[in-house]
A and B are shown apart, each in its own frame.
Chain A
């Protein structure tokens, strides 16, 4: 009851706080009047008693302030008063407020944007029931060529045995990646798809936006084929027409009924799409014999029973694999080990570490921003030293002042947070628009509640960091001396400012160093000679049935070449195909057949050294793709059927096959020496190709080229070289190929820039983002140096003016001022370089094998930092010195 009444009183007091303030005033005034009366009665004069009463009371304002402090509702009251006060203060220095909030907004917005990427791939739950227990199962094969990294999908037999025997598996489903040509009104189109088992539809919760999902009847062996279109395929190839449901389609040589359209969510980061066939499975069909079609492998997805672990599942699968090996007994050494990975790992592996690095980088940027804004606050505080000291003298407690300044910093950081959210919305929008191609989860990047929560935390932390330094500067001693305008306070505040500058410089050096390393790697990749032209080229991938007659192949090659060559701007065309590779026998345990033989040597070469199949290309191939012929000659129109069979190999292959010997003129054939494949004379050696410019040392495998005129093959690629300033005309090329063969499906069409772009996207993205961060950080540090020198120059205005008036050299004063700034910069540089060297190991994932400690980069970074900060210091120093000393002294 007592408690209740007390709180009613408190709330009442809060609501009528103005009233209470007035009454307090009344009460104290009355007290003074009574005291005056009393004193007068004791015989003092009116004047004397008034003075005496005031002395006895001891300062009305002071005790009002103390009384306010003792009021229980003061927190709320003070807060609203502080917010008003803060707004007044900030409105008075609008420039400061806006720039501080804007800097914070950029820091917070950048952090939130990078986090949204990390969030999409790392934190957001996968859209499947019990997704945390979903795993994929593969088999690791012991092959000396790939060490631990050779994984294969289990075959149907193995998958079935896992399902039956591993007690830790709750449910197991399979996906077979399929591909087929779909006949559409707009022409034939190759589509990639997935044939799924019935249990998989439940594991991945394949829901539909239209029509009906697959049901158990669809999986019976005698059921008519059921097909679900992906949402994007439905939009792009069926024009989003809802009448497609129920329509029959021909896929390869079978007919299917479209039963529905998958919903959009099924497309985002789903293992159907992101694993091996990223983002482009365009349909899903019911696999009517998934577990019975022996010898075909499929991706296996299993949900672990609640309470079991991945390790336990792996052990059970290993035991099962061993058992099978013993039973089959023919080739026991290649049994393999089970490799179980959580779904999250499979989908996001290889991306997480780099985003964590970026996130760390952007967090550093945010920290620099906070330090910078703290410096700005300190500068402002030194402007307001008198106000604060006066208020202390009037009885404001230190904590009261701290609250007030704290409120100002929180108002600023709140504005920064709001700006940050807006920037993050815009930033994620911009990110989604990037041609990220096949990066998983990219389309999922957005600002969600988790991101908002992070922004709230960041805003609070930023507010706290911002308040720290002003509070430190608010010690009672400092406030007192600041009233007296002594050097002491100025100096201790200057030390704080220098520390802030040094910290900013150190952090910027770390970022700049990392950005430098990444830039070096990317630039060397961009300029690396990959053996192929880097512009004005277009690749077209065709889906030609592989087994057509030689005559048909030759005619098709001719027609495509002719049609494409007539497009304006086309310089040369090359049509390529590859003869069906020697089929690797179904039995994985059988020894591989030899790849090639060299005339005069008894032993054939294995597939590790020699190619197993040739690239059959038009005579204009090397000219079209821009690959140099290092020695010998290119193909000519004379290299056709009936003439001497010739071949061209690339340099690495020549080294592999012939070592130091000259390969030109040697004769080689596919398979063992005894086979009746024709001998081919090597007439040229071409430059080696680099598959991935980021990893120049990774082998792209042995290559041998033959003339398509001599060894006709079904055309599967068309490469078109345009004159330098012609825009690659995809539409015209599409039309030309349709003219050559109306039923020929185009699987893919990419300019060489797009193809390189997809490969380098991650590296480019990381580098650009890190560079942007580093530039922003350096800019902030320079701003910090600039502000520090400006403050130093302003506080020593009179001294400088006197010195100049007495004839000091302006240069000396400039040097003095700049030196005061370069000392913290030098400290920052030292600390930053050490930190960068220590922390650079975190970057190894982004450097593609380049060394993380590059002395050249680090010295360049140090030089750049020193130079920019000196310039930042010079500007205000010169301004201070060039001011008219007479005017300064008169102020």
Chain B
């Protein structure tokens, strides 16, 4: 069994934004992509994805559109907006700042 990590508070937004940089995705696709990209280490609690999606949508960082899947089902596709891209860059800087700091603390003897 692969080791799993709990998501850090606030990192879910970052992950969602990142997962949308390549192409629009629907909810399940996002959760799947996060799992794939993290080699199954990061387990998004799938249900909690949706409140986060609605929140990001309301902030205008992602936009949603109803479309049709290749199998002909109605699906809701989320796209990263320009604001979202900017936000992603910001959060990324924040994140590396944070992890670097934590690394430093841990590396200290």
**A contacts, CB < 8 Å to B:** 2, 5-6, 9-10, 23-24, 26-28, 30-31, 34-35, 38, 56-60, 62-63, 66-67, 69-72
Contacts and interface: CB of A to CB of B under 8 A. Distances in A.
Nearest to A10: B58
B59 to A, nearest CB: 8
Contact of B46 (A9, A26, A35): A35
Interface in B6-53: 26-28, 31-32, 45-48, 50-51
Nearest to A37: B28
Contact of B58 (A26, A28, A72): A72
Contact of A5 (B31, B60, B66, B74): B60
13 contacts: A2-B60, A2-B83, A6-B60, A23-B66, A23-B76, A28-B50, A30-B73, A35-B28, A38-B32, A58-B47, A70-B54, A70-B58, A72-B58
B75 interface: yes
Given A30-B73, A57-B46, A67-B54, 10 more contacts: A5-B60, A23-B76, A28-B27, A31-B50, A34-B28, A35-B28, A63-B48, A66-B48, A70-B54, A71-B54
B86 to A, nearest CB: 12
A27 B76 contact: yes
B51 A66 contact: yes
Contact of A30 (B26, B46, B60, B83): B26
Q: Which of B31, B32, B47, B50 has the largest count of A CB atoms less than 10 A from its CB? A: B47
A60 B47 contact: yes
Contacts of A58: 45-48
Interface of B is mostly: helix
Interface residues of B, number: 21
Contacts, number: 62
A5 B73 CA distance: 28
B81 to A, nearest CB: 10
A71 B58 contact: yes
A107 to B, nearest CB: 43
A72 B54 CA distance: 10
Contacts of A6: 58, 60
A31 B27 contact: yes
Contacts of B76: 23, 27
Contacts of A71: 54, 58
A23 B83 CA distance: 25
A277 B37 CA distance: 96
Nearest to A13: B58
A85 B50 CA distance: 26
Nearest to B52: A70
B47 A63 contact: yes
A513 B53 CA distance: 63
B65 to A, nearest CB: 12
A62 B47 contact: yes
Q: Which of B32, B51, B60 has the largest count of A CB atoms less than 10 A from its CB? A: B51
A23 B27 CA distance: 13
A38 B33 CA distance: 13
Contact of A63 (B28, B32, B51, B60): B51
Interface in B55-103: 55, 58, 60, 66, 73-76, 83
Which 10 interchain pairs have the tightest Cβ spacing?
A63-B47, A58-B47, A34-B28, A67-B51, A31-B28, A57-B46, A66-B51, A70-B51, A57-B47, A70-B55
